[in-house]
C-alpha cells in the first residue's frame, strides 16, 4: 500500500539495515529456516510482476515494486531537497501514512528529476534471500540488433588522449569520460525480461527500472551504493579503479591481484574516497574510513571498493539532521563519475563527450519522510524508448591512463547490458 513504510515491508520480515552495502550474515539454525520460509518467492514475485511503466528497485536490503505517480516532484529553482520535502508534505496532507519518493536524479543538477510519490508500493526482503532468484531468466525477445557507438572507439580513445594532455598540463586531477552504444531492434523491446536477466545475474547488487518520461525507462544493475541512511547510521561505498574479469579462473585471479597493486587505479580510488571523507566528515560525530580498499566483483568487472560508515551528528535546533537525499546530493557527482575538481571536470566532459548524459551517472533510489533511504550511482545502465536502447559506460582518466586500456574498459562495462539483451558487441 502507498502508506507502507520502507523500513517494514508488509507481510515480510523486517528488512536488513539500509546501511549495508554487502549482504549481512545469514541467521543460523532454526532462525535461518524460518527466515528462508518467510522469504521464498516474496522478492521474486515483485520481479515477476514488473511491467513497463512500473518502478522496480532491488538492493541488498529490500525489494520494491511501485506503480502509478501519486505526486511528482516538480522542476524548479528551489533546492531539490526542499521540493522533495514539500511533495512529501503534500502527500501526508492527502492522507498517506508514510509517504516516500522514489526515482532518478540526473547527472546535471539543472535538469528535471524523475522522482514521484508512487500511487501504490509493495515491499519485500532482498532478492538475495529468495531461493527462487537462482532460477534462470529467459532471453529477451528482440534483435537482430543494429549497433552504433557514439563516439566510436577510435574517437573515444582520442578524447582520452586529449584528457591526459590536459591532466599533464595541470588543468585538473581526474576526469571520467563516457561513451554510448545505441542499439535498435526490429521488434518491440522486452524490458521485463531485461530486468529479470539483470536481477538474476547479480541479486546481491542494485537492480533498477525507473520511468523517466513518456515511453522511456531507465534500467540497469549498478554495483555502487552512493549513500544509505537509517536513523543516524550512514554508509557510502565508493568504487573506482576497475579491471575486466575473465572466464579463465587463473587469469581472473591475476586480474584481481594486479588491480590491488595498480598505482594508477589505487590513486584513482584514493581521490574518490577522499572526496567522500571531505563531504561526510563535517556532518558526522563519527566516520570510519578503512585505510586500504578491498575488491568487489560483478559478473563482468573487478572494482576497488571502500565501505565508509559513520554516525550523523545529533540534530540541533539550527542544524537538523540531513536526509539520505541531502547526503547523497552532498556527494553527487563523486570523482568516480565526474572527476576532480568537479567544475573543471564537468567542463571537460561537456567539451569532449558528444552526447547528453541525462540520467547516466546520476543517482536512483528512494527517501522517506523520516530521511531514511538508499541512493545508488546510475551506472551499468541503459535507457529504453520504443525499439531503441542507449547503453552507457565510462572510465576514469588520470595522468597514467592509456587510451586503449580505457576504451577496453568501457567495452567490458557494456557487457552487463549486452548480456541482458542477448547481444554481442
CB 89 within 8 A of CB 100: no
Grid cell, residue 313, equals 551528528
Grid cell, residue 303, equals 572494482
CA distances from 81 to 86, 117, 328, 367 (A): 9, 14, 11, 10
pLDDT at 300: 87
Q: How far apart are the first and last CA of the chain?
A: 42
* Burial class for 214, CB neighbours closer than 10 Å (0-12, 13-18, 19+): exposed
pLDDT at 13: 30
Candidates 253, 233, 373; CA nearest to 309 is: 233
pLDDT at 38: 59
List the catalytic residue out of 111, 162, 168, 224. 224
Number of CB atoms found within 10 A of residue 191's CB: 24
List the catalytic residue out of 174, 268, 383, 409. 174
Between CA 286 and CA 350 the distance in angstroms is: 37
pLDDT average per 10 residues of sequence, the chain (425 residues): 40 31 30 48 96 97 93 95 96 92 96 96 95 87 85 97 96 95 91 94 94 95 96 96 93 96 92 94 96 92 96 80 96 94 96 97 97 97 94 93 95 88 77
Number of CB atoms found within 10 A of residue 251's CB: 12
Element (H, E) at 71: strand 63-72
Is the bond preceding residue 144 a cis peptide, omega within 30 degrees? Answer: yes
Burial 252-288 (b: 16+ CB within 10 A, else e): beebeeebbebebbbbbbbbbbebbbebbeebbeebe
Instruction: Verify whether residue 138 is a known catalytic residue.
Output: no
CA distances from 294 to 176, 298, 302, 318 (A): 21, 14, 10, 38
Between CA 65 and CA 7 the distance in angstroms is: 14
Number of CB atoms found within 10 A of residue 37's CB: 8
| pTM for the structure as a whole | 0.89
pLDDT at 5: 40
pLDDT at 142: 67
**Residue the block writes with cell 554510448:** 180
Instruction: Verify whether residue 224 is a known catalytic residue.
Output: yes
Amino acid at each position: 500500500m502507498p502508506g507502507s513504510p520502507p523500513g517494514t515491508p508488509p507481510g515480510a520480515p523486517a528488512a536488513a539495515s539500509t546501511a549495508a552495502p554487502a549482504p549481512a550474515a545469514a541467521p543460523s539454525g532454526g532462525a535461518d529456516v524460518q527466515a528462508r520460509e518467510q522469504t521464498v518467492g516474496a522478492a521474486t514475485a515483485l520481479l515477476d510482476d514488473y511491467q513497463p511503466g512500473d518502478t522496480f528497485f532491488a538492493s541488498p536490503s529490500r525489494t520494491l515494486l511501485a506503480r502509478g505517480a501519486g505526486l511528482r516532484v516538480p522542476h524548479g529553482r528551489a533546492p531539490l531537497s526542499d521540493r522533495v520535502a514539500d511533495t512529501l508534505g503534500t502527500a501526508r496532507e492527502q492522507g498517506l501514512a508514510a509517504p516516500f519518493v522514489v526515482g532518478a536524479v540526473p547527472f546535471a543538477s539543472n535538469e528535471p528529476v524523475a522522482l514521484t510519490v508512487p500511487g501504490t508500493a509493495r515491499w519485500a526482503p532482498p532478492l538475495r534471500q529468495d531461493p527462487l532468484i537462482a532460477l534462470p531468466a529467459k532471453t529477451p525477445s528482440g534483435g537482430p540488433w543494429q549497433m552504433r557507438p557514439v563516439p566510436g572507439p577510435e574517437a573515444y580513445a582520442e578524447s582520452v588522449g586529449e584528457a591526459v594532455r590536459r591532466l599533464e598540463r595541470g588543468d585538473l586531477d581526474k576526469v571520467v569520460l563516457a561513451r554510448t552504444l545505441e542499439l535498435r531492434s526490429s521488434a518491440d523491446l522486452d524490458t521485463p525480461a531485461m530486468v529479470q536477466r539483470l536481477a538474476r545475474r547479480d541479486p546481491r547488487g542494485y537492480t533498477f527500472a525507473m520511468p523517466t518520461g513518456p515511453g522511456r525507462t531507465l534500467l540497469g544493475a549498478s554495483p555502487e551504493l552512493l549513500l544509505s541512511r537509517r536513523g543516524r547510521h550512514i554508509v557510502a561505498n565508493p568504487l573506482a579503479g576497475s579491471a575486466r574479469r575473465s572466464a579463465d579462473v587463473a587469469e581472473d585471479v591475476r586480474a584481481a591481484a594486479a588491480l590491488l597493486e595498480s598505482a594508477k587505479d589505487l590513486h584513482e580510488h584514493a581521490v574518490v574516497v577522499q572526496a567522500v571523507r571531505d563531504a561526510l566528515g563535517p556532518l558526522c560525530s563519527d566516520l570510519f574510513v578503512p585505510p586500504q580498499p578491498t575488491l568487489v566483483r560483478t559478473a563482468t568487472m573487478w572494482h576497488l571498493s571502500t565501505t565508509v560508515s559513520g554516525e550523523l551528528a545529533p540534530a540541533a535546533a539550527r542544524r537538523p539532521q540531513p536526509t539520505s537525499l541531502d547526503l547523497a546530493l552532498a556527494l553527487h557527482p563523486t570523482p568516480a563519475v565526474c572527476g576532480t575538481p568537479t567544475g573543471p571536470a564537468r567542463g571537460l566532459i561537456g567539451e569532449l563527450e558528444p552526447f547528453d548524459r541525462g540520467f547516466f551517472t546520476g543517482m536512483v533510489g528512494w527517501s522517506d519522510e523520516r530521511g531514511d533511504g538508499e541512493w545508488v550511482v546510475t551506472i551499468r545502465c541503459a535507457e529504453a524508448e520504443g525499439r531503441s536502447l542507449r547503453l552507457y559506460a565510462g572510465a576514469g582518466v588520470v595522468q597514467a591512463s592509456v587510451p586503449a586500456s580505457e576504451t577496453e574498459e568501457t567495452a567490458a562495462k557494456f557487457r552487463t547490458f549486452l548480456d541482458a539483451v542477448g547481444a554481442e558487441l
